[in-house]
Amino acid sequence: MKIVAFNGSPHAEASNTHIIVDAFLAGARDGGAETENIFLANRTIEHCQGCFSCWWKTPGKCIISDDMDELLDTYLSADIVIYATPLHMDNVSGIMKDFFDRLLPTGDPHFERDPNGEVRHVMGKKRDPGFIMIANSGYPEQSHFQVLQLLTQRMARNFLTECVGEIYRGGGSLLQDDEMKPLIDEYRALVRKAGFEFVKDGKISSDTSLLLEQPLIPAPDYVDIFIRNVNAYVDQMIAKNQGA
């Protein structure tokens, strides 16, 4: 099994998103998978121009010459891809959205009805790989991922493929808090287990999925603790950057 992660965080290797992806891919390798981790922030990906040349003029190939030429080949060669992103305005990052838009050449311009009667494009010449969505949010609650969860469902439908796993982490800013290291190590171990389970069983177990949804701080006043700590950090950064 070949798993390719596309990390859409602007902070690339230094991101909270990478902490989660790195652990999942380690578990996948434990299970025998071949993995690749690509940081979109380190690549040149221009905005889609909406010209449809990849459909009408040069089928399957974008007229823009940039790193998406290589990334499309890597994408189509994968058995499973991971879309990894911080939550920006209830959605994926701008870098990830550009990546999604530039996947257009893999599709086919013709239309069909899906099994529910709703219109969509037909499958391209090569089947899009199944995918896993991984995201973290600066907000503490898991409820902030509702929009992204709906997008994930629609992408699976529109790409004629399947979302085979989802990992969402509220309170993502805590993932690099030195005082939280023991708890973060436990969380990373759990994500690594999820990667192993996926390769061995084709899915993340329900028990592991349930544990992944739990707050990083196992306390009933987790949200209050989070707000207090984050606000202290915000005040510190404002004072530091404004020379107070």
**What would the pLDDT profile of 105-115 be if each residue is shown by its tens digit?**
999 999 999 99
Whether 7 has a pLDDT exceeding 70, the answer reads yes
What would the pLDDT profile of 11-34 be if each residue is shown by its tens digit? 999 999 999 999 999 999 999 999
Which burial class, exposed, middle or buried, applies to 11 when counting CB atoms under 10 A from its CB (0-12, 13-18, 19+)?
middle
Confirm or reject CATH 3.30.43.10 for domain 2-218, answering yes or no.
no
**How do the domains of the chain map onto residue ranges?**
2-218
What would the pLDDT profile of 189-236 be if each residue is shown by its tens digit? 999 999 999 999 999 999 999 999 999 999 999 999 889 988 998 999
Q: What local confidence, expressed as pLDDT, does residue 139 receive? A: 95
What is the pTM assigned to this prediction? 0.95
- Minimum mean pLDDT range among 33-47, 124-138, 230-244: 230-244
